[in-house]
Every structure is written in C-alpha cells, then in structure tokens.
C-alpha cells in the first residue's frame, strides 16, 4: 500500500512538471508553404505531425499552405508521398507569429532492371516458336488484306468518306435526271393501255399495207 502511494505521488509530480513546462513554453501561430527543392512547386496535402505535442497531425491544402498553433521548440515532421521526410524545430522568435517556407526533397528510388517476356516459361516459348508462320511475308499479308472477303468486311464496318458520299450523290442525281428525260412520269409503258392500243394499231396498219 505504501508503494502505491509513492508511485501515485511520483506520477503526479511528473505530470505537474510536464503541465507547467507546457504552460511555460511560448505559443505562436506557425504558418508556411511546403514546396519542392528543385522546381519550387507547391507540395499539396502534406501531412504535418507535431512530435513534441501529442503527435497532433495537420495537413496542408492543395497549394501547400498550412497554418496552426504550436509551441517554441516543437519538432514537426513533414511527410508526403514521393518526398523525403523532413523535420523542423520551431525557433524562438520575437512575436507570436512565424511564417516560413518548408523545402522538401524529391524521393528518387531506383528499381532493379526488369526484363519482361511474353511467355511464362521456356516451354510456352518453344511452343510459340514452333507454331510461327514463317511464310507469312509482306506480299502474302497484302494479298490477304486486299481479298474480296477482307474488303467486304471493311466496307460493312467502315463508314463512307466525304468523297465517297459526294460521288454517290452525283451519280444518283445523274441517274435521276436521265430517268426523267426518258420517262418523265416514271410510269412503266407495259402497264399503259394507251401504249398497247397504239402498238396494236401500228401492227394492224402494217398488215393492211402488206
């Protein structure tokens, strides 16, 4: 029981000292912009962790700007994907506002060389190599692409160009004009009774003349 009292007393003393130390430290408004070391472009959405005060985390906006309350002497950790971790200790300054630029270095990771192969194993490579069509040269492929079957398949899928549509319209208009000159009413003469009567009269006159 005596040990428990001593332990509680020591813990209370430590917490009191820590609280008094925290109250004695100077509080200020810490603001800044996170940017890259090479191009000076902003590093958006950088995570800022205060390692000296309960690991409180903050985040910069899309333009790299941040602003929060901290203590003099706090150690801040700046982390972002693709950049090296940076630690910054807030210095003791005159006044209660501090603005600075945090410059982060690009993280360059060199990966080992990888050679991709289209086959999963040497057995699949041997099968693919033995099934190669060596006789399929450029002339054979050109003849295959220009065959009637290939051209018909392309004509069914590929839409007509502007030149083809223009030529089709010109030819259609030309055929329409010729039909109007030959037969203005687009009537079939075989179904015209007057035409049949005229033909019969001509045949009768021909017989009488003979």
Q: How far apart are CA 67 and CA 46, in angstroms?
A: 12
Summarised one tens digit per residue, pLDDT across range 34-71 is 999 878 899 999 999 999 999 999 999 999 999 999 99
Summarised one tens digit per residue, pLDDT across range 184-199 is 555 566 667 777 777 7
Q: What is the largest CA-CA distance in the chain?
A: 157
pLDDT at 149: 87
pLDDT at 136: 62
Q: What is the DSSP letter of 60?
A: -
Contact indicator for 76, 51 with CB cutoff of 8 Å: yes
pLDDT at 23: 52
Who contacts 44 (Cβ-Cβ below 8 Å, separation ≥6)? Answer: 60, 61, 62, 63, 64
pTM value is: 0.45
């Amino acid at each position: 029981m005596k040990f428990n009292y001593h332990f509680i007393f020591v813990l209370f003393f430590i917490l009191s000292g820590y609280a008094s130390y925290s109250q004695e430290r100077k509080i200020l408004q810490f603001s800044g912009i996170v940017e890259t070391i090479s191009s000076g472009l902003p590093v958006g959405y950088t995570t800022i962790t205060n390692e000296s005060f309960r690991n409180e985390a903050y985040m910069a906006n899309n333009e790299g700007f941040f602003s929060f309350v901290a203590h003099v002497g706090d150690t801040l950790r700046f982390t972002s994907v693709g950049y090296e971790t940076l630690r910054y200790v807030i210095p003791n300054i005159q006044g209660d506002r501090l603005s600075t630029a945090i410059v982060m270095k690009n993280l360059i990771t060199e990966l080992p060389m990888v050679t991709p192969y289209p086959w999963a194993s040497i057995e699949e490579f041997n099968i693919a190599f033995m099934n190669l069509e060596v006789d399929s040269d450029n002339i054979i492929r050109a003849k295959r692409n220009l065959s009637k079957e290939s051209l018909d398949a392309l004509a069914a899928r590929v839409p007509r160009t502007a030149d083809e549509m223009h030529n089709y319209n010109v030819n259609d208009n030309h055929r329409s004009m010729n039909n109007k000159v030959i037969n203005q009413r687009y009537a079939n003469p075989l179904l015209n009774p007057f035409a049949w009567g005229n033909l019969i009269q001509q045949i009768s006159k021909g017989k009488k003349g003979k």
